[in-house]
Structure formats: C-alpha cells, structure tokens
Structure 1
C-alpha cells in the first residue's frame, strides 16, 4: 500500500509526469492512494498512469477546484481530485468535499473498494486542509472521515485510510483519527498510523531536501500517512516494512513536492 500527493499541474507537470511514472513503476505497489490528481473533460492523470502501469483506477473530483485553477499557475479547464490505483479491480464508493478549512468543500475524501485475492479492501484517499494554523478545521475533516469508515459496509480486509493529511503525527487531528492516544473520533475506531513501524517514524515527507519545498520556507514534517484499521475486517493483516519513495530526482527531475509513503502489509496468518 502506498500514498502520494502528485502536486496537480504545478511545477512543470509535463516534465514531472515521466518521473512520476518511473517512480511508481519502480515501486510496484499493489494499491496506491493519490492526491492532487489533475483531471480534464477527456481524462485524468490517475487513469493515464493506471493504463501505463497495467492497473485499475478510481478517480473522484473535488467539487470546487478553484483554489488551484484560479492561481498563478492554474488552468480553469482542469479539475483536481483524489484517486485509488490497484492491481485488481476497483469499485468507487463515493467522493465528497470535506468541511472546514480555508475553502470548505475543496479538499476531498475519495472512497473505493479493491477486490483483492484475499477479499474486499476498503481504501480512502484523503487530502486535508494545508494551513499551518488549520488544525481545528482538520479536526472537523477527520471526524467526517472516521464516520465514513465506521458506517461503510463490512469488508474482508481492514480499512486503509491514506493520503496527505497536512498534519504531523502528534497533532490533535491525527491523534483523534488514530484513536490510540486520545478518545477516537468515533467510538471504538482505531486506525493505527503505520509510521509506528518505520525505522525513522519522523522521517519527513515534506522536506527542504526537495527543491520544490524550499520556497515555502516551511519546516520539514511528516504529513503523509497510511492508517490501518487492524481490528476491523475478517482477514488478519500485519504491518511490515514502512518506507518513503519519490524522495529523489529521476533523471534530474523531482517527481513531486511531496515524498510518498509505502507500507508492506502481510495478509493472513
């Protein structure tokens, strides 16, 4: 399982696209949650990547892409959204703009079910508000996510909630969604952050080591996460290796402004 923010059409997207594809091909993940995926009336980047990778895709568009399309590098003919790619068939279950934040409704939660050989696996691709002082808004957003997880139909495999949360692990919103160090957003819901299994749990996914990040002046932070509902589903899953990817240039081109997170999940046993 992997997650990655693809930085929409910003930062010379045509030059970055081959680097994105190369990084994903080298990763060879079974399931990938994507954020800031561009779309047009004719196609979307997730479907194009899936075709190149021999995968299946499910894409959900933001109901209001104007924060991106009205910017300096924006293009009003394109939209933005989240996606799920998988080695096996994918069934979309819904997409919605999340509340609160600086522009309510523009950040997206996209749900899908992946029909894996081990059974059905619900996956949510998440993109939360990015304001450095937006924790209160993100708390409202994760409450919506938690509610969607607990009200989803029963599944074989535990739910996976992955994406760009724009929040560090010890923030109010992440502790609330995880439900491990504080009362959970929904009674009984535990979504364990897989960073707990990483060799360096604090290794940043937003880092000045990436030249795209330097102009922001913001500090390094781990803001991209994969959470697993280990006590849900009927098929047991264990967390194995947790690492970053997309954290180096491909033939001189950095693929995105975020690094991705990849998690090995061992099924059964």
Structure 2
C-alpha cells in the first residue's frame, strides 16, 4: 500500500465581537491573523456595511478568498446591522454552495447565517468548510439542537471526499445535547452523526473560550449570566468522521486557543479563537 501525500491545513475560528469595545481591536485581530497565517478562517459577528466595513480591516493583507454572508444571502436578517454576520476566508478558491438561515421561533434574534463552501485543495481533493454560529441565549438549547441537526443535513447534501470541517461559535459546552449530537454521543430527532472535536483530541490547556478572565467576556457574563466566575468552551473545530468520508482522511495534529491575551493592553474580543492544525489526504491506494 502506498501512503498518499498529506497537505497541512491550519483552521482558525474566531468571534470578532462586532464593533464593541476598543476601536483598535480590529487592527489587532488583523495583526495576529497575519502572524498565525490560517488557511481556512471562520469569523463570527462580523459587521460589514457601508458605514462599518470591519471585515476589510480584519482580513487586510491575508491574501485569502473572502465571503461574507451578505455577499450571498438574499436578504439582511434583523439585528445584523449591529450584531454582524458570518464570514469565511480560504487560502484556496472556494465556492459557497448553501447559506443556512438558523432563525426559528425559539431563536428569532440570531442574524448569523451558516455558510457552506467547497474548497478545492488541488491534487489532494476538495472538502466542505462550514462556518457557523448557534443561538446565543443560555436557555435556547432547543434551537441549538435543531441547528446541529440542520448542519449535519447541510453536510450530507454537499460533503466532498475529504472530511468536512465545521468551525464556529456554537454557544454550548461539550456536554450540551447539541454538541453531544455532533460528536456522536447521542441522537436527536431519530438521527445520529459523528464529528471529531479537535480540542478533545489534541487540545492544549482548558480550551475555555468565553471566560471572565477576559474583561470583555466578564462584562457579558455579568449582564447575560449574572455571574462573574463563568468560564465556558463555546468555540469549536469539528472534523468529519472516517465512515462519512471513506475516500479521505483528516488527522488532527494540534489545537490551541489564540487571540487569548491583551495586545498593547487591548483584548482582541470577548471570545478567544481556536486554531487547529490538520493533515488532510486522500486515502492510501494500492501501489
């Protein structure tokens, strides 16, 4: 058996916290992303309007192919002018194949669409990259459950030979039903799937991405949760399983928090980012 050549892919997911806080944050985020050099980038809460083109600042000089949800969505959801939307950036050309509107009666104030894009990695093959954000209210797990099922259906409609990558702010801890469903620990609506949680496999540290250690998150925790001592892992990179992708492999090498400390005294966001290094390859063939 010959072993197929792997391609190294660096994935970063980061909630940029719209335009709250210090006006210099977006320049700091850009500086850090230039240093980290992602190949696939999922951004949440990105405001991109004529008056506030924050995406332009965040991705400046990254030399990536960029899509914001407003570029491909037929309408502008309520609250998106102040809460932003989803954006993806890829080192290689991508093609958006579907935009998913996550709003349901239990979560009408979720303006962040889910973007599914096919990314062609050349001789290695193609993969589906899904950038997403789930309902934010603590009591909205039913909406997050339905969202998780919808994402798995989205993947089934468009998946490629290489394993699907899902990246985003899922607003749920690993033991929540929505995450348990996505990671193969329980079924929902009579269905089951399995994606590998990159942090669980190769994470360094606690992985808490929304924590009161960060003063930006502390303000939100006091307002939304009513607690100061609040530390959660809400941000994920998930990798499609072998049985859904018999023709490809994606081996998780490392996972770590990034943009997780102040730069020049300024915290980049209220979330930390998650950076995952993955080796992807077609399955070995007889040689």
- TM-score, with length taken from structure 1: 0.87
Change (3 A) 1:257 1:43: closer
What is the 5 A alignment of 1:119-138? 119-138=125-144
- CA deviation map 1:114-164 (0-9, x unaligned): 222322111111111111111111111111111101111x41311111100
Higher mean C-alpha deviation, range 45-54 or range 232-241: 45-54
SS for the counterpart of 2:119 is: strand
Matched with 1:93 is 97
Matched with 1:26 is 35
What is the 5 A alignment of 1:1-16? 1-12=11-22, 14-16=23-25
Which of 53, 59, 65 is 2:68 aligned to?
59
Matched with 1:81 is 85
SS for the counterpart of 2:210 is: coil
Is 1:172 aligned with 2:177? yes
Matches of 2:78 and 2:248 in 1, distance apart? 41
Matches of 1:186 and 1:50 in 2, distance apart? 41
The answer to whether the 8 Å contact 1:192/1:230 transfers is yes
Is 1:240 aligned with 2:249? no
- TM-score, with length taken from structure 2: 0.82
Q: Which has the larger radius of gyration?
A: 2
Is 1:183 aligned with 2:187? yes
Matches of 1:57 and 1:199 in 2, distance apart? 27
Matches of 1:185 and 1:145 in 2, distance apart? 13
SS for the counterpart of 1:247 is: coil
Matches of 2:241 and 2:92 in 1, distance apart? 21
Matched with 1:262 is 275
Size of the alignment, in residue pairs?
A: 258
- CA deviation map 1:53-108 (0-9, x unaligned): 11111221375543354xxxx4xxxx721111111112112223203343256232
Deviation of residue 40 (structure 1)?
1.2
SS for the counterpart of 2:47 is: strand
Change (3 A) 1:97 1:265: same
Report which structure shows greater RCO (CA 8 Å, sep ≥6).
2
Change (3 A) 1:228 1:215: same
Matches of 1:124 and 1:99 in 2, distance apart? 17
Which of 186, 200, 223 is 2:234 aligned to?
223
Deviation of residue 44 (structure 1)?
4.7
Higher mean C-alpha deviation, range 190-199 or range 205-214: 190-199
Which stretches in structure 1 are left out of the alignment for 5+ residues? none
Which of 145, 149, 158 is 1:143 aligned to?
149
